[in-house]
Chain A
């Protein structure tokens, strides 16, 4: 009996190893191809990041990331399906296999990465938690918030950061926990709380959706690090690689000056890294199990990272976010600070 078990185990390992070395296949990629679409968990409604427009078409920064995966796999960015997930339900949707990837401003943390059984494969937005208050209060700093009523979204890292911050500064607060950001916004606008706290990017997005955005200020304190990025299930490394390098392709394209407009011309560029990125030489895409020009497809259909940023959440949109930390590592912002966006090379 014992021998049998050992034998079975050994056979299993050998078969698994053989399969791994020969096929390097991805179960998730197979199901995505069979379904004919990439299924992404997205925010149920966050202007600029993910929200349906008046015709019911999903638009936004996170949506375009999902569309980029579809472009890379199918050469057709419309082959996507969106599963709106609240702070509470998003991980369950991914874990149960109802979706293939989360593109919903989710913070990369130790517990989520290690204990919950997920893999964070990159960062598409470096964020931090901030506070928004009404101008009438005349408050200049988060240190003045002792005793305030705070609107928070449940199931996110924000409620833990908030508690930590108030504990550290020996202040108290009254929580108003709600399930999604739209609900928090209504509570805040109607005066059920003094302060609205969430990631600074979301605060900007939520402020643009308030009736009188000019009446509210975002306080200068950023109380946490919130690296937001796409999440996949732990264990399917090939699928994780596809997601990671699709995102990296958008960042590297910006670095190399490849844009949606010039991507066709860039194919005949002399720069070897551009040629490898666009699949003219090197055969990188094949190693992922995709077509060699997967990055070319992304840039052609979606654009590079900077283009997507400016289109949905940049300074010329109602959200009006500066590139800030999300600028490339070798570019200067208007205030002289550097970005920290740094993607591994296509080599």
Chain B
């Protein structure tokens, strides 16, 4: 009687339909619940508040690259400041975590016992203590234990480090900067063609060309030569101590440093394990084979181990980048002015538009996460095995 229940086709359709109904029902429940509650509280949602003058300072003047102006900037500008501050933490965190993770992952496989012990201790120490605790340790325990503003540690009288911030010189946006940028772009284009030529030559003659070292030289020298020919030089704005604080230049707040350090050390530990797994996944037969055809150790890593290890490394790496970005919202614990702190925190409190602000914040994190996923998927396709 119930024989149709055992038909594969019926079951497929039935469970698909069931899933859709449950999902739609849940969506409707959310919508209904929100709209009735808003009506009950007499709140009309809308985004007009984004054009109102914010009236508070959401970022320090030493790190105000979006040009927030207390006198006329709006809650919309607070949103921009927050996104910017979140992104610079996430980007720097991803870069440092990747470097740290690769170094530690390789060290953990080292035959040198001390090195591999240091790497193991790092990984276990980071992974077994909650991130929030690390953020508090970095900020309250390490950064705030630094010297006072007047007792700043100075490097060549242009960089000053104290418990509040790292004061750096800021390059002024003159023709020289544009020339350097132009030079770098020209160098990249040159390297692209150089690589093509080198690959072709290797295919035809079997001889290698040191593309990597030449590229590094080119990236440095093309802008330098351009500057010399044009007779320009970069002018810098140096930080100076005036009153309570250093002014001019860039001041990276201590809370920013603490966030980048905590996030990259913490995520670096997970990346180290991913890298270690990736390298161990390349069977020793591959390495023996590479050795038997006469490749040198450097070439073995570059042409045999790393390309195969990357296939294992890249997919889990993506999720580490995603967690790092989302974990940056813990910044509120130490008063760093990220999106959650200034927009979802202060703007929401001052305007009372909780629903809109939470939605915008979610949208931002979702977009960033999707962007990272898309980029890493593209990268993954490039390193994945090309099946013929």
Contact = CB atoms under 8 A, between A and B. Distances in A.
Interface of A: 87-88, 91-92, 95, 111, 115-117, 145-149, 154-156, 159-160, 162-164, 166-167, 172-179, 183, 186-187, 190-194
Interface string B134-159: 00000010001000100000000000
Contacts of A192: 144, 163-164, 254, 335
Contact of B55 (A164, A176, A183): A164
Given A149-B164, A174-B60, A115 B352 contact: yes
Of A95, A111, A175, chain B has the most CB atoms within 10 Å of the CB of: A175
Contacts of A166: 70
Given A149-B244, A163-B70, A191-B144, A92 B164 contact: no
Contact of A88 (B56, B164, B245, B348): B348
B349 A155 contact: yes
A14 B300 CA distance: 88
Interface residues on B, range: 35 or more
Contacts of B348: 88
8 contacts: A115-B352, A147-B242, A147-B243, A149-B60, A155-B350, A167-B71, A191-B148, A192-B163
A175 B57 contact: yes
B41 interface: yes
A187 B335 contact: yes
Contacts of B71: 167
B332 interface: yes
Interface stretch (B94-102, B108-116, B316-324, B339-347): B339-347
A87 B57 contact: no
Contacts of B239: none
A285 to B, nearest CB: 31
Nearest to A139: B244
Contacts of B245: 147-149, 174
A146 B243 contact: yes
A95 B163 contact: no
A155 B242 CA distance: 30
Contacts of B332: 179
A182 to B, nearest CB: 12
B36 interface: no
Given A154-B341, A172-B61, A116 B352 contact: yes
Contact of B345 (A147, A179, A186, A187): A179
Contacts of A92: 354
Given A190-B140, A190-B163, A160 B335 contact: no
Contacts of B244: 145, 147-149, 194
Given A91-B352, A115-B352, A177-B337, A159 B346 contact: yes
Contacts of A91: 349, 352
B204 interface: no
B247 interface: yes
Interface string B330-374: 001111010001100110111010100000000000000000000
A193 B163 CA distance: 10
A149 B253 CA distance: 11
B62 interface: yes
Given A117-B43, A163-B56, A164-B55, A154 B70 contact: no
Contacts of B247: 147
A167 B56 CA distance: 10
B41 to A, nearest CB: 6
Contacts of B148: 191
B42 interface: yes
A92 B42 CA distance: 15
A299 B352 CA distance: 37
Contacts, number: 98
Interface in B42-66: 42-43, 55-62
Give chain A's interface secondary structure class: mixed
Contacts of A174: 60-62, 245
Contacts of A164: 55
B335 A176 contact: yes
Contacts of A163: 55-57, 70
A116 B353 CA distance: 9
Nearest to A235: B42
Contact of B57 (A145, A173, A186): A173
B144 A88 contact: no
B167 to A, nearest CB: 12
Contacts of B255: 176
B338 to A, nearest CB: 11
B357 to A, nearest CB: 12
A95 to B, nearest CB: 7
B345 A155 contact: yes
Nearest to A144: B243
Contact of A177 (B42, B61, B62, B346): B346
| A-B CB proximity, top 7 nearest | A155-B349, A178-B335, A147-B243, A190-B144, A148-B244, A174-B60, A159-B56
A186 B43 contact: no
B73 to A, nearest CB: 11
A88 B346 CA distance: 8
B140 A148 contact: no
A167 B245 CA distance: 18
A309 to B, nearest CB: 29
A12 to B, nearest CB: 15
Contacts of A148: 243-245
Nearest to A146: B243
Among A87, A88, A95, A154, find the residue whose CB has the most chain B CB atoms closer than 10 A: A154
B13 to A, nearest CB: 40
A117 B333 CA distance: 29
A111 to B, nearest CB: 8
Given A155-B346, A190-B144, A191-B163, 12 more contacts: A88-B345, A91-B349, A147-B243, A148-B243, A155-B345, A160-B56, A174-B62, A174-B245, A177-B335, A177-B345, A186-B140, A192-B163
